[in-house]
Amino acid sequence: MALTCRIAVLALSCLFAPPMLVQAQDVTAADAALNAANAKAGPRVTPAKTIPVPTNLGPAAAALIAAPYGQPAWNAVPATPDAWRARVKMLADAALPDLAKAREMLGVTIEPTVIGGVKGFILTPKTIPEAHRNQLIINVHGGGYVDGPGESGTLEAMLMAAYGGYKVIEFDYRMPPDAPYPAAMDDAMAVWKAALAMNDPSRMAIVGSSTGGGMTLAMILRAKAEGLRLPAAIAAGTPWADLTETGDSYKTNEWVDNVLVRYRGYLAEAALLYANGHDLKDPQLSPIYGDFHGFPPTILTTGTRDLFLSNTVRTHRKLRQAGVPAVLQVFEGMSHAQYLFDPAAPETKEAITEIAAFLDQYLAK
């Protein structure tokens, strides 16, 4: 051929195209403009487009994916501490009736507790399988470091109890604006130390999604630094592993994720509120910058529309590079943590049972 193939993208064209110029067909002016804009190295330019709801999903998942942006608006940032408190209370109060209905449907009981001086809840399924009777899950709730106080933060713990068949302790860590970093992590470690006095770590796992996933990773980093024994395994769902706007999906899934929507809004302000002047790349805030060697086996969960898809993928790759057994499950069309949103959805049960099956490989019976 007259032309030499110099990059991998062109390799197949060079192998299979006839020795002549191939004329592109049906090129519109818009196509030509986009082709010209992307004809050199650099950022990709994409057209405005409409992304349909996938047609290969069940009605429950399709409804979540088709839902409008959540309320209050993703960019409605409280201007004062009192406004933050009012927002958090409004969302927490709204969650309680649905959580009560879901517990009744799933046969999960809830009782308040105190562990390590931190208030929390014990969630117990109707039946605990024999293999899980001496096991314990510590759950770290999500909510952007500001949402999910009290019982309103028990969604994931309830699902782990119902579909995983575990006794689960969820704890109510302190949050800003009243208690910024490091209060949440101090509470988390007080809980872990108390859990170590209650049970053998070989029979325990730490599970959390979103902020809870990021805190789960940060807890392992801090436990390593303090010489504490580690859980047998962890599950970090769509972890907020990097509080900075770093990672491809912060842009590729911007405006597509109907939960978080984009970084520049409530999310960025919550990160700054929590960090309280600390470097956002401190591994206790953004654990992706920490040392993952010696981590327990880890399962990670995300979706193709998740703004934190890259956070999850980067965490998975770093765990693998550190020699840690790590599994990544990705759900079609799901935005941030939507695999938890509908307790009755088949995808929710699938996500949690996958996590439980992974934990079963590593937790001592």
pLDDT at 26: 58
pTM of the model: 0.91
- Residue closest to 14 by CA, chosen among 27, 29, 3: 3
Residue 101 has pLDDT above 90, yes or no: yes
Q: Which residue has the higher pLDDT, 25 or 259?
A: 259
What is the distance between the terminal CA atoms of the chain, rounded to a whole angstrom? Answer: 64
Q: Which of 12-16, 53-57, 115-119 has the highest mean pLDDT?
A: 115-119
pLDDT at 137: 98
Dihedral, 243, 244, 245, 248 alpha carbons, nearest 10: -80
| Whole-number Å distance between alpha carbons of 328 and 231 | 19
Per residue in 309-320, pLDDT (tens digit) is 999 999 999 999
pLDDT at 25: 53
> What's the whole-number mean pLDDT along residues 4-15?
38
pLDDT at 205: 98
Residue 332 has pLDDT above 90, yes or no: yes
Structure tokens, 279: 């470097």
Residue in the block written with tokens 């770590």: 201
Residue 12 has pLDDT above 50, yes or no: no
Residue 24 has pLDDT above 90, yes or no: no
pLDDT at 171: 98
Among the CATH numbers 3.40.50.10950, 3.90.800.10, 3.40.50.1860, 3.40.50.1820, which is that of 59-360?
3.40.50.1820
Structure tokens, 348: 């929710």
Residue 211 has pLDDT above 80, yes or no: yes
- Residue closest to 319 by CA, chosen among 343, 300, 341: 300
16 — pLDDT class (breaks 50, 70, 90) = very low
What does the chain come to in residues? Answer: 365
Q: Where are the domains of the chain?
A: 59-360
- For residue 352, CA distances in Å to 248, 315, 357 come to 26, 20, 9
Residue in the block written with tokens 């880890």: 298
Structure tokens, 13: 């064209």
76 — pLDDT class (breaks 50, 70, 90) = confident
331 — pLDDT class (breaks 50, 70, 90) = very high
pLDDT at 196: 98
The sign of the torsion formed by the CA atoms of 165, 169, 175, 181 equals negative
pLDDT at 10: 36
DSSP three-state, residue 137: strand
Task: Give the H/E segment covering residue 329.
Answer: strand 326-331
pLDDT at 20: 42
35 — pLDDT class (breaks 50, 70, 90) = confident
pLDDT at 95: 96
Q: What is the mean pLDDT of the chain?
A: 92
Q: What angle do CA 158, 163, 165 make, to 5 degrees?
A: 85
Lowest-pLDDT range of 26-40, 86-100, 144-158: 26-40
pLDDT at 214: 98
Residue 2 has pLDDT above 50, yes or no: no
129 φψ region: left (φ > 0), alpha (ψ -120 to 50), beta (else): beta
Residue 36 has pLDDT above 60, yes or no: yes
